[in-house]
Amino acid sequence: MRAFLPERAVLHEEEDTRPYECDGLTAYRQLPMVVALPETEEQVRRVLQACAALRVPVVPRGAGTGLSGGALPPGDGVLLSMAKFMRVLRVDARGRVAVVQPGVRNAAISEAAAPFGLYYAPDPSSQIACTIGGNVAENSGGVHCLKYGLTVHNVLRVRGFTADGEPITLGSEAPDAPGYDLLALAIGSEGMLAVVTEVTVKLLPRPQSARVIMASFDDVQTAGNAVAGIIAAGIIPAGLEMMDRPATHAVEQFVGAGYDLEAAAILLCESDGTPEEVEDEIVRVKSVLERSGAARMTVSRDEAERLRFWSGRKAAFPAVGRISPDYYCMDGTIPRKRLGEVLAFIGRLEAKYGLRCPNVFHAGDGNLHPLILFDANSPEELHRTEQFAAEVLEKCIEVGGTITGEHGVGVEKINQMCVQFRPDELELFMAVKRAFDPQGLLNPGKAVPTLARCAEFGRMHVHGGALPHPELPRF
């Protein structure tokens, strides 16, 4: 690699490779054999070709903010950092697309588009740091995805290489491309199918105005029913979030968002659009919430108050980090109607395991983020946390949901994949992987468990750990 990469772009001394030993899931650490930092597509191609020839594993990495260990390095391979691909190549205001390199931060796309009144809609909580390449790998969501969709709905085209270093372009600036939808297949594939070197995203006109309603409820079930009520009324809010009392208490001490601390749960419901549309929708949402038994409601009067209401939600993870030495964040998605049942189940597990578990919840999409509080210095407590989390994830599967809504499987939830999918289904995933990467060199051992692994681990789970990047807001 020294023959074709710039100086200082091949790292192998421990002091240089140490920063790459983990991503956002710090419970798993592994020093990579080598870190490569290419700057051009041609260099990426040559790294991949060299690794394919030598049968050396390659793990691509963006900003390393992922929460499931998807960028955990290979001890016997190359960590391929895309950090130097940080240019916005083109913003086409008339066509409403931006062409960017994969190391561009999510928020930087909207910043580049802002002068044209446009923005990139998916807003994962780590958006000030996470990169679009990582978003493509994880199919990242955010708080606005009920209305504006996930990464897969907002990326038009990716360019990159297969494991063999063959160039591929998936998708198009046209509405579709001939043949199978390989773009949809690649998005969310956790770096297992290809390495992305260029991403074309869709830009949307920025809404003229937005307001948020904060509604208080005396119990979580009533709040859950209110969410269903809003949707039954034909309203798709821009954001619809729920927090329970332990979560509001944690954040109120931390940021002073002005939350109702008496409430068993609060809902934040945002409307955006033209001023007329927002007024109209706020009136309708308020009336639904009143009928649904909201105890109190406050509508943001101005942009400052709107941002203050959101600040608490966005600070939920670090706020919880202040009241406990460690916390474990889950990411299950469930049908909304099962919310009350699942929250009651989590309440019973709190008693069973003797651990507290505040809940924040993308209520609109049914995506739960229970946060189990524990102390990682106590191996026994870590073990209880793992058991607790495993029961929650399996409950999500049982009620018709999934083990991961937006954080990915990575190494973290790989054993639960054995619960969610049957052997035939896992085998087809592996056949799809082989179609793109016959030698199995791209991000091996992640996302899809081998049948042998499922047999060996059965229903045993091996996750745990706290989040780094405490400065990032986490949804």
Partner 1 sequence: MSLEHFQERIREAAGRRGALRLRGGGTKDFYGNAPRGELLDTRTYAGIVSYEPTELVITARCGTPLAEIDKVLEQHRQMLAFEPPHFGAGATFGGCIAAGLSGPRRAAAGALRDFVLGVKLVDGRARALSFGGQVMKNVAGYDLSRLVAGSLGTLALIAEASVKVLPAPACETTLQLAASQDEALDHMNRWAGQPLPVSATAWSDGLLRVRLSGAAAGVRSAAQKIGGTTLEDADAFWTGIREQRDAFFRDDEPLWRLALPSTCPPLALAGRQLIEWGGGLRWLKSSADPRDAARRAGGHATRFRGPPASGGAFTPLEPVLSRLHRELKAAFDPAGVLNPGRLFPEL
Q: Which of residues 367-396 bind partner 1 (CB under 8 A)?
A: 367
Give the shortest CB-205-to-partner 1 separation in angstroms: 5
Helix/strand/coil for 50: helix
Q: Tell me the β-bridge partners of 98.
A: 91, 201
Percent of the chain that is helix, strand, coil (3-state, to 5): 40, 20, 40
Q: Is residue 240 within 8 Å of 230, Cβ to Cβ?
A: yes
Give the shortest CB-381-to-partner 1 separation in angstroms: 27
Give the shortest CB-160-to-partner 1 separation in angstroms: 11
Site string for partner 1, 143-172 (x = CB under 8 A): --xx--xx-xx--------x---xxx---x
Give, as ranges, the residues between 37 and 76 that touch partner 1 (CB under 8 A).
none
Q: Tell me the β-bridge partners of 11.
A: 35
Site string for partner 1, 315-334 (x = CB under 8 A): ------------------xx
Give the shortest CB-247-to-partner 1 separation in angstroms: 20
Give, as ranges, the residues between 265 and 294 that touch partner 1 (CB under 8 A).
273-274, 276-277, 279-281
| Sequence-ordered list of residues with C-beta below 8 angstroms from that of 124, at least 6 positions apart, any chain | 106, 130, 135, 140, 141, 142, 406, 475
Count the site residues for partner 1 by CB under 8 A. 94
Q: Tell me the β-bridge partners of 161.
A: 167, 195
Q: Quote the CA–CA distance of 248 and 447 in Å, as a whole number.
A: 33
Q: Which of 42, 176, 262, 290 binds partner 1 (CB under 8 A)?
A: 176
Q: Quote the CA–CA distance of 255 and 339 in Å, as a whole number.
A: 27
Question: Distance of CA 349 to CAs 29, 126, 177, 392, Å?
Answer: 29, 29, 48, 8
Q: Is 110 in the site for partner 1 (CB under 8 A)?
A: no
Give, as ranges, the residues between 73 and 92 that touch partner 1 (CB under 8 A).
92
Q: Which is nearer to partner 1, 69 or 364 (CB)?
A: 364
Q: Which of 174, 304, 351, 452 binds partner 1 (CB under 8 A)?
A: 174
Q: Is 454 in the site for partner 1 (CB under 8 A)?
A: no
Segment near partner 1 (CB under 8 A); pick from 79-87, 249-257, 357-365, 453-461? 357-365
Q: Is residue 419 within 8 Å of 444, Cβ to Cβ?
A: no
Segment near partner 1 (CB under 8 A); pick from 15-23, 175-183, 377-385, 465-473? 175-183
* Max CA separation in the chain (angstroms): 70
Q: Is residue 68 within 8 Å of 124, Cβ to Cβ?
A: no
Q: Which is nearer to partner 1, 35 or 113 (CB)?
A: 113
Give the shortest CB-186-to-partner 1 separation in angstroms: 9
Q: Which of 209, 434, 400 is nearest to 300 (CA)?
A: 209
Token pair recorded at residue 253: 């001490």
Give the shortest CB-362-to-partner 1 separation in angstroms: 8
Q: Which is nearer to partner 1, 207 or 246 (CB)?
A: 207
Q: Which of 88, 184, 264, 376 binds partner 1 (CB under 8 A)?
A: 184
Give, as ranges, the residues between 186 and 245 that touch partner 1 (CB under 8 A).
187-189, 192-193, 205-208, 228-229, 231-232, 234-236
Q: Quote the CA–CA distance of 311 and 293 in Å, as a whole number.
A: 25
Q: Is 401 in the site for partner 1 (CB under 8 A)?
A: yes
Q: Which of 123, 365, 381, 412 binds partner 1 (CB under 8 A)?
A: 365
Q: What is the 3-state secondary structure (H, E, C) of 297-351?
A: EEECCCHHHHHHHHHHHHCHHHHHHHHCCEEEECCCECCHHHHHHHHHHHHHHHH
Q: Which is nearer to partner 1, 5 or 187 (CB)?
A: 187
Q: Is residue 185 within 8 Å of 201, Cβ to Cβ?
A: no
Q: Is 95 in the site for partner 1 (CB under 8 A)?
A: yes
Q: Which is nearer to partner 1, 77 or 122 (CB)?
A: 122
**Tokens 């619809």, located at residue:** 240
Q: Which is nearer to partner 1, 187 or 212 (CB)?
A: 187
Give the shortest CB-159-to-partner 1 separation in angstroms: 12
In the DSSP assignment, the letter for residue 260 is -
Q: Is 179 in the site for partner 1 (CB under 8 A)?
A: yes
